[in-house]
Amino acid sequence: MIDTSRLHLRRPREADVDAVFAYRSSPDVARYLRAGPWTREHTESELASYTTARFAGPGDELVLVVEILETGEVVGEVGLVWLHDENAEIGYVFNPRFGGKGLATEAVGAVLTAARNDWGFARVIAKTDALNASSRALCERLGMTLVATAMTTDGRNVEETTYAVPASTTP
């Protein structure tokens, strides 16, 4: 669906379950995610739903797995939720084993560009646990601006930051 110089972002396949489960079940990764650690069964169910999910209007979500072009290894996911009107929320999770190579920056940046240029979203936000320094740094590298910090209302009692790509810029 989206290619960069090193990555291919595409809809999930059944064959991706093991790779996604490897990082989604890790406590070190899941501590920053709303859903917490995933079981293998939950991973299978989520990926199956992402495979054919609509992305045509508010409430729809597009999730793309990120694979390295050269090796085909799945290193993470980037998702985009259509919030309302011309606004979307981007989310991402990556296997820390592949950290420090700029892959997350490349993948999330490509989806942000597509969100603005191809899908016509005027504003894209990202929400992240305030303690997740890597995620916050990623938002800042991509030119996103911190617009809010608040406690979550979903029962996790976590301070969450909201970043936004202003309507007049593209990463």
What's the CATH number where 41 sits? 3.40.630.30
Contact 60, 54 (CB under 8 A): yes
At residue 169 the predicted structure's pLDDT band, cuts being 50, 70 and 90, is low
Query: Over the stretch 124-137, which tens digit does the pLDDT of each residue have?
Result: 999 999 999 999 99
19 in any annotated domain:
yes
Span of 10-24, 66-80, 145-159 with lowest mean pLDDT: 145-159
The share of the chain scoring above pLDDT 90, in percent, equals 88
**Going by DSSP bridges, is the β-strand pair 7-10/61-68 parallel, antiparallel, or unpaired?**
antiparallel
User: What's the number of CA atoms in the CB half-sphere (13 Å) around residue 132?
Assistant: 25
Is residue 168 pLDDT above 70, yes or no?
Answer: no
154 in any annotated domain:
no
161 in any annotated domain:
no
Distance in angstroms (rounded) separating the CA atoms of residues 14 and 157: 34
152 in any annotated domain:
no
Is residue 148 pLDDT above 60, yes or no?
Answer: yes
138 in any annotated domain:
no
Is residue 163 pLDDT above 90, yes or no?
Answer: yes
For residues 89 and 165, which has the higher predicted lDDT (pLDDT)?
A: 89
At residue 92 the predicted structure's pLDDT band, cuts being 50, 70 and 90, is very high
96 in any annotated domain:
yes
Distance in angstroms (rounded) separating the CA atoms of residues 152 and 41: 27
Q: pTM (2 decimals)?
A: 0.94
Per-residue confidence (pLDDT) for residue 167, from 0 to 100: 66
Domain range enclosing 71: 2-122
Nearest of 145, 65, 146 to residue 107 by alpha carbon: 65
Query: Over the stretch 12-30, which tens digit does the pLDDT of each residue have?
Result: 999 999 999 999 999 999 9
171 in any annotated domain:
no
7 in any annotated domain:
yes
- Domains held by the chain: number: 1
